[in-house]
Amino acid sequence: MLAVQLAGLIALPLLAQAVFPPLPHFKHLVTFGDSYTDIVSVGDGGTAWPIYASRYGNLTLHPFAKSGGTCSNNITPRPFPSVMESQIPAFVNASKTTRLPQEETVYTLWIGTNDVDWVRVMHNLGARNFIFQNMIPLQLTQLYASQSFPNRFWNFEKNSTEWAVFMTELTSAGNALSKLMLQALAPSLPGSHIALFDSHALFTDIFNNPSQYLNGTAPLNVTGSINQCIFELNGGPIGGTCPPPTTDGGVRDSFLWFDELHPSEQADRIVAREMVKAMKGDTKFAKWIS
């Protein structure tokens, strides 16, 4: 189905290069998503990227992302707060007491799947400025890598090579599809600014050129993780318990990954830095399409 949709959308004319109005000076950041963005149940073992972005950009943060969330529990049933059924309603409820100046507010979504409908729904609620974060190259994480091992997220038998190939195809096709859908959607949302933040390209660049991004005191590491834990197949952690992650900040900043699935805090600092640049139209990892 994904291939059919993608093939059909490729035939759509892409938006011509245009001169857009100047970007607003953003003062408020509203975030949706999953454990990559949740500031309470933090996936990176330290401080989540929205906190850093609010500091770097002098922004007031309004966080609604929740760990484990999907786009919609009607599509992917999970016992976690999804974007459509939980996070957006939470935003609507908060809006009853806190009215945000829409011209100074930017909304972001970063989640493990693509949800262009989020832009349409939020536009109907009055939002006008969006940064859509696409999927990272998940095949580079320890969970989905071809050299994967039983871990806290999956300790059952699997074909690691097959998983890696499938995830490579899924993220590449899904990101291409979401880009085309956003380009097609943008003209129907009057007064909107929409940017596509290329998380996939950013993490690929960190993986390929770690010395330009990681600055820890240990040898730079993009294949291991700070909080790595090897499990017995169909069992628990080898040795009975997972070893505690190091608290040495210098060592931690040498890693791209915190655990087998989540970026490290240093990687999240980089995301925050590039996100703030994106709000100013000043990064190669984001493009404003309207």
Least confident of 9-13, 203-207, 231-235, 285-289: 9-13
Strand-by-strand arrangement of the 193-197 sheet: 60-63, 28-33, 105-110, 129-133, 193-197, 286-288
Q: How far is CA 278 from the centre of its chain?
A: 14
Cβ atoms within 10 Å of 149's Cβ, excluding its own: 17
Tokens of residue 26, six digits: 């953003």
Interatomic CA distance for residues 23 and 132, integer angstroms: 16
| DSSP letters spanning 116-153 | THHHHHHHHTT--EEEEE----GGGSTTTSTT----SS
Torsion, CA 279, CA 23, CA 106, CA 60, rounded to 10: 70
Lowest model confidence (mean pLDDT) among 66-70, 203-207, 257-261: 66-70
Mean pLDDT of 148-171: 97
Q: How confident is the model at residue 113 (pLDDT cuts 50, 70, 90)?
A: low
What is the arithmetic mean of pLDDT over 187-212?
Answer: 97
CA 29 to chain centre: 15
Model confidence over 17-48: pLDDT tens digits?
A: 455 667 899 999 999 999 999 999 999 999 99
pLDDT of residue 22: 79
What is the rounded distance in angstroms from the CA atom of residue 277 to the CA atom of residue 19?
19
For residue 225, give both structure tokens.
Answer: 């993780």
Query: Residue 11 has what pLDDT?
Result: 40
Look at residues 137, 263, 125, 274 and name the one whose alpha carbon lies nearest to residue 196. 274
The reported pLDDT for the residue numbered 115 is: 64
Predicted confidence at residue 76, as pLDDT, reads 82
Mean pLDDT of 87-101: 97
Least confident among 64-78, 102-116, 194-208, 262-276 = 102-116
Q: Which residues have CB under 8 Å from 274's CB, separation 6+? A: 197, 202, 283, 285, 286
- β-pairing, 105-110 vs 129-133, is parallel
Q: Provide the pLDDT for residue 5.
A: 42
The tokens of 118 are what? 């989020």
Q: Are 144 and 163 in contact (CB under 8 A)?
A: yes
More confident residue, 141 or 111: 141
Residues 133 and 42: their CA atoms lie apart, in Å, by 18
Give percent of the chain above pLDDT 90.
86
pLDDT of residue 75: 85
CB atoms within 10 A of CB 42: 20
Mean pLDDT on 133-142 = 97
Q: How far apart are CA 28 and CA 54, in angstroms?
A: 8
User: Domain spanning 26-284 has what CATH number?
Assistant: 3.40.50
Give the model's pLDDT for residue 56. Answer: 98
Q: Where are the domains of the chain?
A: 26-284
Beta strands in 124-281 (DSSP E): 129-133, 193-197
Of the pLDDT bands very low, low, confident and very high (cuts 50, 70, 90), residue 78 is: confident
Tens digits of per-residue pLDDT, 163-193?
999 999 999 999 999 999 999 999 999 999 9
pTM: 0.92
